[in-house]
Chain A
Amino acid sequence: MTDRLYDAAGTTAPIATDGDGFVLHDDDRRAILDERDHYEQPQAACIEALKIVQKRHSWVPDAAIAAIAEALGVGVGAVEGVATFYNLIFRQPVGRHVILVCDSSSCFLTGFEELGEALSQRLGIGFGETTKDNRFTLLPTCCLGACDRGPAMMIGDDTFGPIAPDDLSELLEAYP
């Protein structure tokens, strides 16, 4: 029995460091500090800070956690706690395009499993994995609020639905 579907989005604490020598880009630091001013406490900017770093690097390397903690003046444990809680913060490298396939009930009832299977086949990867050419990462996600046109999925910032397995060629080709 597989737990894959169930745990694919979860991440666990890292054991070793990587990305030593990570430096927060000046623009990113500025953006983070700017974001901080929108809230009563600096920690509130933490999620946005992670997103800012992710935007540049496509994921959040371990060393970025300490850099963000330092920039905001909050504990590194707290930042890592936040970074590993939310499924849209990637703590492992992802491909150029992240595919989020809605696996919740309405899409489940309208063909998520076929869609997921077709995607898997096509890309040669399972959920939670990245294609060898680093082009796509496949992840399941919560109800995308597109239930009237399920099964739905996102590629990057774009939402699509309903998607039949036959639509995939056209769709994926648009993301080089």
Chain B
Amino acid sequence: MATIHVDGNAYDVDGSDNLLHACLSLGLDIPYFCWHPAMGSVGACRQCAVKQYKDENDTQGKIVMSCMTPAADNSWIAIDDDDAKAFRARVVEWLMTYHPHDCPVCAEGGHCHLQDMTVMTGHSQRRYRFTKRTHRNQYLGPFVAHEMNRCINCYRCVRFYNDYAGGTDLGVFGMHNNLYFGRHEEGVLESPFAGNLTEVCPTGVFTDKTHTRHYTRKWDLQYAPSVCHQCAVGCNTSPGERYGSVRRIENRYHGEVNGYFLCDRGRFGYDYINRDDRPRRPEWHDAGVKTLDVDPALDRGADLLRRADRVIGIGSPRASLESNHQLKTLVGENNFSTGIAAAEQACLARMAGIDAAGALATPTPREMESHDAVLVLGEDLHHSAARLGLNVRQAVLGRREELAEERGIPLWNAEAVKTLAQDSYHPLYIAYPSATELDGISAASMRLAPDNIARLGFAIAHEIDAEAPAVDGLDAATQAHAKEIARALLAAERPLVISGGSLESTAILDATDSVVRALARREKNGGLLMVRREANSTGLALMDGKPLERALEQVSLGHADALVVLENDLYERLPQARVDETLDAADGLIVIDHQRTQTWQRANLGLPAASFAETDGTLVNLEGRAQRFYQVYDPRHLRPECRLHAGWRWLDALRASLGRSAGEPLTFAKAVADCAESHPALAGMESAGDHAELPGTLKLARSPHRYSGRTSMRADISVSEPRMPQDPETPFEFSMEGYSGFDRPRRNVPFAWAPGWNSPQAWNKFTDSVGGHLSGGDPGICVAGTVKAASSGYPAANRIPAAFAHQGDRFQLWVLPRLFGGEATSARADAIAERAQTPCLRLSAADARALDAEDGETLTLTAGESRLPLALHIEADLPDGLVTLPAGVMPGAPNGHWVTLDKAPGKTPGKEDG
């Protein structure tokens, strides 16, 4: 704590901050550019100048950069000082000398930090009268557009991209006032976090290309707090809608989950909900396709269900808890499947068990960053839970901060901290079959077959605690690694273990269990985080459903004759033949989805579901945090013909139709309450979000004050103006009318705006301290995950797998997660499809040689009855005997099974070998 005096007022602040950070946290405005709360200070832009005085008697003072000055106790400063103000106005004037003043055609306009700061400093007259230099721009891939002429040279982009996110292909080139921020040559930005440049850049150099395609100003967008549906991390997002389509996804600040940053899948993967081919009205598939209105659709659905002897409900880890619960209610507990394949579900169950045993607590993503040693068993985070890759990187870089503290260098002094530590890192160990993005900063990256990853894990546990089971016949290299890793984990204050279900190996999870138990026995204050695949995988694991194969079996075996499939494409999960066989045997199939999937095409009745932007729901992320996403817009307002409804609403209506009851339609509040009540494990989910605000208080606005054209938006449909859609379910209004301020603490913030702060930097007005937590508390509530508990024994002691052995001419198949293209819904977004690399299969150099196959050559992979021809990529140090495939190219590929490869031309992917 320190007391600082600003413009004559005394404030208590955190003395370890710099003055800029401290003042912004107090709610005072100081303009700045190069500083960023997540990246610290570098003192480059000189915009944050204030006057500092030696003491209260000093009347002279001198100008200092607030970002580079400690908020030392008894500091005396003035923001409102004529010299400082004049200097700040000069700085903006300089920055603008070469700026093109092209706000009207700039995608940043309206949420531009440069605009905000220019206004804040009061600079409005341009005195520079000479020519401006211009730059050529680069193609940077499908996500990010480049307009270098707008650059104000704050260096934030390279500091984020390289220092923070570990990228290597973006740089700053040239010197003096001829600087260029871009790639060394045109091409796709390689970092999976490149999209953050659109928010990190304070002006319009890096903008969101997916947004520009259907551009709308920030003030004309309608928002709601949402949660990313593209993986299990659960980053908080603000989707912005206009004219019935989502125009962009922005980061929504969350102090514990995503902070200021998202991954590119989450940011740019939304366009599947805007697809033209999306089902928007119920469909009856017979000889042809017949679209129906809601009531006839429900009648036909009810008929179909009524005719069936037994109906199986297949839920989905990409649908909300509420929708899954309504499905379960409709079909009955015994007939409910999670929609997750057995191998994955086994892993989920195993992970839930480990969490429940509670040897080590589950850290939040932010907490992960303060761990001082990390072991990753069987995950490639940049692909399976990308945002966490960024967190692990910060954990590893945390060593710098430790060193800086020892040497009295303030942690915000970013370049100094970096310089001091050079490449001293906290130890990171990664065991994975293939190369991973974090290898560059790991102490060791071991390329191992999954069974050997498990053996390594068991061996580490044994090294940590001699009572943990020893591994028989361990090779010397693994033994040495195990010793080194155990030593590093024990030397750490807070070791972190990361594992998960990406490889669908319960053996790895058993080993993880042993490691964390061993650490717990050595009283380590560590953490364990296990990666799940989909947005609601963790939630579904708590809902007690059967695995997908078991449910389909009921139909194939004739024990059931109809299916209701909720937001799930069975063809993405099991081999084609397996799904066909079941659907052929079923008498009726109802599919509720927002995508025209292969499963939808086979439905008798298709009911168009609302996507995450069109309804409310709750998801449980991989830490066990239940988070609410809210409806962004009402699709019927602008497309009156569409009949989109939440999954939970369709299912409730089906149940009502089936029972011929015409009761009250289900409210969202009731859907939440029902689910919470039926699942003790989910009891907390009710407080994951808020329903309508307390009576008498204002509702919250979904759009900014300046939202324009509301009354004319439907003019092409009808000039008479209908009432705006009402939202009795949530605290939000479909309107700019309502509260959108920051002075009353709240956790539900659809969009961040404060007077004078139009850019994403406005989030700093909504936090308790800059970079801290939302002032009303970070949204969501932990329902699962682990609270540390005493654990004893090593239950997996007798499940240590044998060492992996090469099987002659057969290869063990492993499907590796893939950020772009490896997740079914985002893969349907054009930008993601464009970004996805052409899939290939990978073999070690030795195996390729044995097959006499060359890099790039097509090989046919035969797994049971499925065949897949794919180009070969030789990954020199992949373990021999393995073949890997990226996720999303061979649905239902049997992970861990033995397959053959041959050079003969194969058939189309996934097609049965007849």
Residue numbers of A with Cβ under 8 A of B are 1, 3, 7, 10-17, 40-41, 62, 65-66, 69, 74-81, 83-85
Q: A75-B162, A85-B174, A85-B175 are known contacts. Are A13 and B180 too (CB-CB below 8 A)? A: yes
CB atoms of B422 and A10 under 8 A apart: no
Task: Name the residue of chain A whose CB is nearest to the CB of B136.
Answer: A15
Q: Which B residues touch A41, using CB under 8 A?
A: 422-423
Within 8 Å by CB of B138, from A1, A15, A78, lies A15
Q: A75-B162, A76-B169 are known contacts. Are A17 and B174 too (CB-CB below 8 A)? A: no
CB atoms of B423 and A81 under 8 A apart: no
B886 at the interface (CB under 8 A from A): no
Q: Which B residues touch A69, using CB under 8 A?
A: 168
CB atoms of A16 and B173 under 8 A apart: no
CB atoms of A76 and B130 under 8 A apart: no
Q: Which A residues touch B185, using CB under 8 A?
A: 14-17, 62
B61 at the interface (CB under 8 A from A): no
- Contact residues of B between 177 and 192, Cβ < 8 Å to A: 178, 180, 182-186
Q: A13-B184, A84-B174 are known contacts. Are A78 and B136 too (CB-CB below 8 A)? A: no
Within 8 Å by CB of A77, from B130, B138, B162, lies B162
CB atoms of B182 and A13 under 8 A apart: yes
CB atoms of B175 and A80 under 8 A apart: no
B407 at the interface (CB under 8 A from A): no
B135 at the interface (CB under 8 A from A): yes
CB atoms of A66 and B184 under 8 A apart: yes
Q: Which A residues touch B173, using CB under 8 A?
A: 11-13, 80-81, 83-85
CB atoms of A14 and B184 under 8 A apart: yes
Q: Which B residues touch A3, using CB under 8 A?
A: 131, 133
A-B residue pairs, 10 tightest by C-beta: A77-B171, A75-B168, A80-B184, A13-B180, A84-B173, A13-B173, A81-B171, A10-B178, A17-B185, A84-B174
A84 to B182, CA, bound (A): 13
Q: Which A residues touch B176, using CB under 8 A?
A: 10
B172 at the interface (CB under 8 A from A): yes
Chain A nearest Cβ from B360, distance in angstroms: 35
Within 8 Å by CB of A10, from B130, B167, B169, B174, lies B174
| Binary per-residue interface labels of chain B (152-179) against chain A in the complex, 1 for a CB within 8 Å, 0 otherwise | 0000001000100001111111111010
Chain B nearest Cβ from A104, distance in angstroms: 15
A-B contact pairs, 12 of them (CB 8 A): A10-B178, A11-B173, A12-B173, A13-B174, A15-B138, A65-B184, A76-B184, A77-B168, A78-B168, A80-B173, A81-B171, A83-B173
CB atoms of A12 and B178 under 8 A apart: yes
CB atoms of A76 and B168 under 8 A apart: yes
Q: Which B residues touch A80, using CB under 8 A?
A: 171, 173, 184
State the main secondary structure of chain B at its contact with A: loop
A17 to B183, CA, bound (A): 11
A7 to B131, CA, bound (A): 13
Chain B nearest Cβ from A148, distance in angstroms: 28
Task: Name the residue of chain A whose CB is nearest to the CB of B185.
Answer: A17
Within 8 Å by CB of B172, from A1, A62, A81, lies A81
Q: Which B residues touch A62, using CB under 8 A?
A: 184-185
| Binary per-residue interface labels of chain B (116-151) against chain A in the complex, 1 for a CB within 8 Å, 0 otherwise | 000000000000001101011010000000000000
Task: Name the residue of chain A whose CB is nearest to the CB of B172.
Answer: A81
Q: Which B residues touch A65, using CB under 8 A?
A: 184
Q: Which B residues touch A79, using CB under 8 A?
A: 184
Interface centre among B171, B186, B422 (most CB of A within 10 A): B171
CB atoms of B175 and A10 under 8 A apart: yes
A1 to B171, CA, bound (A): 31
A69 to B185, CA, bound (A): 14
Q: Which B residues touch A12, using CB under 8 A?
A: 135, 173-174, 178, 180
Q: Which B residues touch A76, using CB under 8 A?
A: 168-169, 171, 184
Q: Which B residues touch A74, using CB under 8 A?
A: 168
CB atoms of A78 and B178 under 8 A apart: no
- Besides A62-B184, A77-B167, A85-B173, 11 more A-B contacts (Cβ < 8 Å) are A7-B133, A12-B135, A12-B173, A13-B138, A16-B185, A75-B169, A77-B162, A77-B169, A77-B184, A79-B184, A84-B173
A13 to B893, CA, bound (A): 45
CB atoms of A77 and B183 under 8 A apart: yes
CB atoms of A75 and B171 under 8 A apart: yes
Chain B nearest Cβ from A103, distance in angstroms: 15
Chain A nearest Cβ from B438, distance in angstroms: 15
Chain B nearest Cβ from A14, distance in angstroms: 6
CB atoms of B422 and A40 under 8 A apart: yes
Task: Name the residue of chain A whose CB is nearest to the CB of B184.
Answer: A80
CB atoms of B178 and A1 under 8 A apart: no
Q: Which B residues touch A66, using CB under 8 A?
A: 184
Q: Which B residues touch A81, using CB under 8 A?
A: 171-173
Task: Name the residue of chain B whose CB is nearest to the CB of A73.
Answer: B440
Q: Which B residues touch A10, using CB under 8 A?
A: 174-176, 178
Q: Which B residues touch A40, using CB under 8 A?
A: 422
Q: Which B residues touch A75, using CB under 8 A?
A: 162, 167-169, 171
Interface centre among B158, B184, B185 (most CB of A within 10 A): B184
CB atoms of A78 and B171 under 8 A apart: yes
Q: Which A residues touch B131, using CB under 8 A?
A: 1, 3
A65 to B183, CA, bound (A): 12
Q: Which A residues touch B135, using CB under 8 A?
A: 12-13
Chain B nearest Cβ from A60, distance in angstroms: 12
- Contact residues of B between 797 and 852, Cβ < 8 Å to A: none
Chain A nearest Cβ from B56, distance in angstroms: 45
A1 to B130, CA, bound (A): 9
Q: Which A residues touch B172, using CB under 8 A?
A: 81
Q: Which B residues touch A85, using CB under 8 A?
A: 173-175
A1 to B129, CA, bound (A): 12
Task: Name the residue of chain B whose CB is nearest to the CB of A14.
Answer: B185
Task: Name the residue of chain B whose CB is nearest to the CB of A66.
Answer: B184
Q: A12-B135, A15-B186, A75-B168 are known contacts. Are A7 and B423 too (CB-CB below 8 A)? A: no
CB atoms of B174 and A11 under 8 A apart: yes
A7 to B171, CA, bound (A): 21
A120 to B170, CA, bound (A): 37
Task: Name the residue of chain A whose CB is nearest to the CB of B422.
Answer: A41
A142 to B183, CA, bound (A): 29
Interface centre among B131, B135, B185 (most CB of A within 10 A): B185
Chain A nearest Cβ from B174, distance in angstroms: 5
A7 to B133, CA, bound (A): 10
Q: A10-B175, A10-B176, A12-B180 are known contacts. Are A77 and B422 too (CB-CB below 8 A)? A: no
Chain A nearest Cβ from B155, distance in angstroms: 11
